[in-house]
Structure 1
Amino acid sequence: MSDAGYDAVLFDLDGTVYHGTQVIPGAPETVTAVRDQGTAVRFVTNNASKAPADVVAHLKQLGLSADAEEVHTSAQAGAAVLGERLPEGAEVLVVGTESLADEVAAAGLKPVRKAGEAVAAVVQGHSPDNAWADLAEACLAIRAGALWVACNVDATLPSERGLLPGNGSMVAALRTATEVEPVVAGKPQPLLFETAARSAGADRPLVVGDRLDTDIAGALAAGLDVLCVLTGVATPATLVRAIPQERPTHLSADLTALSRPADELRVGPRPGWQVDEGDVLTVRGEGDRLDLLRALCAVAWRSGVTTVRAEGDTAGAALTRLGLA
C-alpha cells in the first residue's frame, strides 16, 4: 500500500503477526518489505505480559527483525496513565507479570502485591499466572477506593490452539465483584497508536490489526486508517455487523495484502459484484470473495441491513466461503 503515502505501519501482534508461538504465514516477508520501502515499522500490542525486549526476542524467534524502541505495549500505556494520576512513590497493586511491575517502577511508583491502606491504585494486565488470590487483593483495594487501571479489556487472546481467555475476562470478574469500571489504558484508547506514531515521526501511519473492538476502534479513535485482517478475531459476519466506531477503512485476508494498491483493499464498491438494498441485501455477480465482502460491508454499514441472500450459484458459493450464507 505504498501508493497511499503511509509513512509508518503500526502492526498489532496477537492474531495479526502471530498466534502464540506460530508465525502467521507471510508476516516476516511482509514486514521486511515494508522496511525496504523506507516505511517505519512499529509493533503495538495490547498484551501486557511481556516487556518490549521479550517481545523483540519472540519476534526474532519467529523470523522478524525488531528493536525494543519499536515495541509499544499496553503495560507501558498503563504505567503512563498511573504516572499522570499519582504522586511519585505511590503504591500500586500489580495484577500481572513482573514486567508490568517493572513498568510501574519505571514510572516512579512502588509496585506491591498485597492490598493495604497505602495502596493508591491497582493496575491489571494479562498474565497466565493471574489467580483468584490476585483478584482478591485487587478487589479489596478497589473497594477501598483505589484507582483501577486495566491495561486492556480484550475478552480473548488468540493462540496457536485457538482463542483463550484474555485480560478482559479477568477484568470482567473484578468488575462484577466491585461494581467499578476501570480506566482502560490500551486499545481501544488512542494512546498506544499516538505514542507509536510519534516515536516513528509519522504524519500518516496505517494500523494493521485483527480485532474490531480494540485495533480498529483504537485506530479510528486516533483518526488513522486501518487495515483489518481475517487471521485473528474478526470474521466476515462480525465485519458486516460492525458498529460505526469499529468499521475499518480497508480489509484483507492477511497482512501480505500490504503489497497491493490501497484502493484494492478499501471498503466500497468492487468490480464484478453488485449489492442491492432492501429488507435483505441481495448479492449477485462473480469475482474475489473478499471484494464481495468489501462491497457488502459498505452497503450494510450505510443501510443498517445485515441479512444477506445470494442470487445465482456463484454468489451463493462466495457467501458460503465467507460464512455468510
Structure 2
Amino acid sequence: MTADAALPLLARGAPRRPCEVHDVALLDLDGVLYVGPDAVPGAAPALEEARGAGMRLGFVTNNAARTPQEVADHLTELGIGAAAEDVITSSQAAATVVAERFGAGAAVLPVGGPGVAAALQAAGLRVVERAEDSPVAVVQGYGRDVGWTQLAEAVVAVRAGATHVATNTDATIPSPRGVLPGNGALVGVVSTVTGQAPVVTGKPDPAMHAECVRRTAARTPLVVGDRLDTDIEGGLRVGAPTLLVFSGVTTPAVLLAAGPQARPDLVAADVAGVNRVHPAVQPEGDGWRCGRWTAVAGDDGLRLSQDGAGPDDGPDDGPEDDGFDGLRALCVAHWAAHPDDSAAPAVTAGGGAEVAGTLSRWGLAES
C-alpha cells in the first residue's frame, strides 16, 4: 500500500477537475439534480459544462415511483438532457432480481408508484393486484399515493409466503418543505407487521451502479450523491470514487460522524463540484490542514482553527476555499484518529468569531 493510499479518503482531494478525470458520472437524482419537482439551482449548467469536458452522465435513482422514460422527460424539462436508456431505477433492479429468482411469468404484487409495475412487466413478470392472486413476491417501492390498502395487501401476501422485496429502504426523501417519509418508512410498516426482513435491491447494493457501469461502458466512473448510506456506501461497494453533495439530506455534522463504509472521496456544495479542483488535506504538526484551516484531534474531541493567510498563501497553495475547507480538515483529522469508528465527536473553535460561526453554520456548535 502506498503512503497516499493509506490516507483517509477525503485527504487526497482532486488536483484535476473530476469531469476531466472520470469518463462517466453516476448521478443520484433526488437531492442532487432536483428537490421535489424543482431543479437544484445551477445543476443544469454544471452538467452541461461537465459534458463539454467529455464526461458522460448516467442517472441512478432509488426512487421507484416513475419509469425511466418519465425520469428522462422530467430531467429534460429541467434542462438536463437525458434519454430513458441513461436512467437506472431501483424498480428495474428489483424486477431483475425477482425474474432471476422466480422466472418469467411469475405473479408479483407491486406496491408503489407506476414505475414499479412498469418495471415488473418489462422484465416479463405478471402483475397482480391482490394477495388472493397468490403472488410469489411483493415488490415495494416509493409512491406518493401508497396508503393503507396497498400496505394491507402486501402484509397479507407476505404472511401467506410471498417474498418481500424492497426497492430501497431510504427512510427519508428531500422536499422543498423539508425532509419527508421515504420508501423505507413504509417498508418498515410491512416488515414490522409480518416479522419478515425484506430483500433490498436498491443502493447501496452494488447492482444498480454496476448495471449503469455496464450500460455506459465506464472505465473510470464517479458516483455523485447526497446520501451516505446509499450513494456513498454504494459507490464504495462497487469500487468507484465518490462525491458527496450537500444539496440534499446529508449535513456536515452527519458527514463528520460517518463510519468507514460511508466516507466519500470528495465533497462539494452541489453537483458543480464535478467541475472544480478539490484541495488536499495535509498533515501539519499534530493536526491536518486544508487551506487556511487546521483541525487537531485530541482526547476531548476536535479543535478547529483558522490562520490569516489568504487562500493562495497557505502551505498547500490549493484552490480557493469553497466554504468547506474547514470541514475537510475536521473530517480527515477525525477519520485518521478513528478509522473504524462512527461516533460524533465534540468540536471546539480555536479562537475567532469566524471559526465559531462556521461551526454553528455546519451544525457543529461548540459543546
TM-score range relative to shorter protein: over 0.9
- 1:101 matched to 2:128? The reply is no
Structure-2 change in CA distance of 1:143 and 1:3 (3 Å): closer
CA RMSD across the alignment: 1.7
User: Equivalents in 2 of 1:99, 1:155: separation in Å?
Assistant: 19
Report what 2:198 is aligned to.
Answer: 182
- 1:321 matched to 2:341? The reply is no
- 1:137 matched to 2:137? The reply is no
1:76-116 deviations in whole A, cap 9, x for unaligned? 11111111111221110110123311211111111111102
CA-CA distance at 1:3 after TM superposition: 6.9
Report what 1:17 is aligned to.
Answer: 33
Paired amino acid for 1:26: G
Match of 2:225 among 193, 196, 209: 209
User: Equivalents in 1 of 2:193, 2:110: separation in Å?
Assistant: 17
Match of 1:308 among 347, 354, 359: 347
Report what 1:282 is aligned to.
Answer: 303
User: Equivalents in 2 of 1:174, 1:163: separation in Å?
Assistant: 22
Paired amino acid for 2:326: L
User: Equivalents in 1 of 2:234, 2:117: separation in Å?
Assistant: 25
Task: Give the 5 Å matches for 1:67-216.
Answer: 67-116=83-132, 118-216=134-232
Paired amino acid for 2:162: A
User: Equivalents in 1 of 2:115, 2:38: separation in Å?
Assistant: 23
Structure-2 change in CA distance of 1:94 and 1:161 (3 Å): same
User: Equivalents in 1 of 2:273, 2:248: separation in Å?
Assistant: 15
TM-score, length-scaled by structure 2: 0.85
How many residues matched? Answer: 324
Helix, strand or coil at the partner of 2:324:
helix
Larger displacement relative to structure 2 (225-234 or 307-316): 307-316
Helix, strand or coil at the partner of 2:174:
strand
- 1:291 matched to 2:325? The reply is yes
User: Equivalents in 2 of 1:195, 1:123: separation in Å?
Assistant: 19
Given that residues 93 and 207 in structure 2 are in contact (C-alpha distance below 8 angstroms), is that contact kept between their aligned partners in structure 1? yes
Larger Rg: 2
Structure-2 change in CA distance of 1:209 and 1:155 (3 Å): same
Given that residues 293 and 326 in structure 2 are in contact (C-alpha distance below 8 angstroms), is that contact kept between their aligned partners in structure 1? yes
Given that residues 19 and 274 in structure 2 are in contact (C-alpha distance below 8 angstroms), is that contact kept between their aligned partners in structure 1? no
CA-CA distance at 1:36 after TM superposition: 1.3
- 1:221 matched to 2:242? The reply is no
Report what 1:250 is aligned to.
Answer: 266
User: Equivalents in 2 of 1:5, 1:55: separation in Å?
Assistant: 27
Given that residues 279 and 290 in structure 2 are in contact (C-alpha distance below 8 angstroms), is that contact kept between their aligned partners in structure 1? no
User: Equivalents in 2 of 1:174, 1:110: separation in Å?
Assistant: 22
Helix, strand or coil at the partner of 1:162:
coil
Give the fraction of aligned pairs with identical amino acids, expressed as a percent: 44
Paired amino acid for 2:273: A
Given that residues 17 and 24 in structure 1 are in contact (C-alpha distance below 8 angstroms), is that contact kept between their aligned partners in structure 2? yes
Structure 2 spans left out of the alignment, 5+ residues: 1-16, 283-287, 312-320, 339-343
Helix, strand or coil at the partner of 1:277:
strand
Structure 1 spans left out of the alignment, 5+ residues: none
User: Equivalents in 2 of 1:282, 1:38: separation in Å?
Assistant: 41
Given that residues 93 and 167 in structure 2 are in contact (C-alpha distance below 8 angstroms), is that contact kept between their aligned partners in structure 1? yes
Given that residues 244 and 267 in structure 2 are in contact (C-alpha distance below 8 angstroms), is that contact kept between their aligned partners in structure 1? yes
Given that residues 81 and 185 in structure 1 are in contact (C-alpha distance below 8 angstroms), is that contact kept between their aligned partners in structure 2? yes
1:246-287 deviations in whole A, cap 9, x for unaligned? 111111111112211244699x74121111121221111147
Given that residues 108 and 127 in structure 2 are in contact (C-alpha distance below 8 angstroms), is that contact kept between their aligned partners in structure 1? yes
Helix, strand or coil at the partner of 1:126:
coil
Given that residues 94 and 124 in structure 1 are in contact (C-alpha distance below 8 angstroms), is that contact kept between their aligned partners in structure 2? yes
Helix, strand or coil at the partner of 2:103:
coil
TM-score, length-scaled by structure 1: 0.95
Helix, strand or coil at the partner of 1:10:
strand
